[in-house]
Amino acid sequence: MPIALVYTSFLSGSIFLALNTKMSKYIVVHTPGAFGNFLAWLVDCYQQKKVNESPFAAAGNSHNREIITEAWDIIMPWNKQKFEKNEFGDSRVLAIYWPQSYFPYILHASIDRTNVDQYGESGVKYAEKNFYDFVNKHQSVLDDGSIWMASYFSRLKEYFNFECGPSNTTVPRVVLRNLFWLNLAAEKEHIWTVTNKLIEKSAHEKISMETILEYNNLKERFDTMFGCSLDFKEIHDQFLKRNKSLKEFNIAMCIVNSVKNGKRMEIPELTVIGECIVMWYLEKHFFDINFFNLPFYFKNTDDILEYVNHYPHYMRQPNKFFQNNWRDFKKND
């Protein structure tokens, strides 16, 4: 290549790098499923003073974007270490936290919306069909070089006597639901909860996941932060519509509340994690009525109430998890 062209390429690259450096004034930190990439996309829009093309990938997450502002999922050890040591250079940190009641949503999103497009439109449905491939296609790697989701394999073996491998790729639905149930049972000590509290207690500028979900609140916050006004409602509407995890979380909690209030509600088809959320909260609420190891056959909330009302008295007993951790739970919680 002629020297002049080399110099021109170098100069162009330098200008591009300088522009990128100038734009990278923020780093968004978050846990899985907390809209880190969507918020980073919005930061870029406000810095460029224009609404960019929508960032949505097939699963509905915002990973299909040009990365100018970085989004760090800080359950990843290397990102968490940088967060704790404040290793952000001259970048300004915008930290996303969530109310603890959203933990089941985070569980769903961590499976359904994870990574890029290797799972198509739904990671949960992919995991239902081929859990072995789901885990091995996941791109998040710990310090020891292993895929962090690989711990699901050892739990399947330890808790459910099921060996998931190349010749046994599909986990029975009731077993898979019970596997995810363990995450809900360990909510207080789970890495998502611990990391979320770390973010919430930090001195960095923070924004609640609930603010991101409300267009007017989010727009007002960003208009104030950046001293300009953008109309991104159409993209925000897509952001909400494409979030299947949020939709199913809301449906699951509506089912649970309908049962608690004795109201009839038709139950739509749920993914295995949607079923898991319903079963977890029902067992936690009724406490001595077992929902843990059932096929999910309920078509409406009347079916659930019929099951509860006629549950044999001689079989009423809290499961061993509640018995062993009774201090953490109250009847009718």
Counting DSSP H helices and E strands in the chain, the numbers are 16, 4
| pLDDT recorded at residue 324 | 63
pTM (predicted TM-score): 0.85
Share of the chain above pLDDT 90, in %: 68
At residue 18 the predicted structure's pLDDT band, cuts being 50, 70 and 90, is very low
* More confident position, 148 or 17: 148
Position 241 pLDDT exceeds 50: yes
The sign of the torsion formed by the CA atoms of 293, 298, 303, 304 equals positive
| pLDDT recorded at residue 322 | 67
In this predicted model, what pLDDT tens digit does every residue of 309-332 receive, in sequence order?
999 999 998 877 766 654 555 544
In this predicted model, what pLDDT tens digit does every residue of 36-87 receive, in sequence order?
999 999 999 999 999 999 999 989 999 999 989 999 988 877 777 788 888 7
Query: What mean pLDDT do residues 122-142 have?
Result: 85
| pLDDT recorded at residue 332 | 41
Cβ-proximal residues to 5 (8 Å cutoff; 6+ apart), any chain: none
Strands (E) in 171-234, as ranges, are 205-208
What angle is formed at CA 222 by the lines to CA 27 and CA 234, rounded to 5 degrees? Answer: 105
At residue 17 the predicted structure's pLDDT band, cuts being 50, 70 and 90, is very low
Question: Which tokens sit at 60?
Answer: 């509905």
Q: Where are the domains of the chain?
A: 3-115+187-242, 245-328
| pLDDT recorded at residue 13 | 38
| pLDDT recorded at residue 214 | 98
| pLDDT recorded at residue 148 | 63
CA atoms within 13 A on the CB side of 72: 26
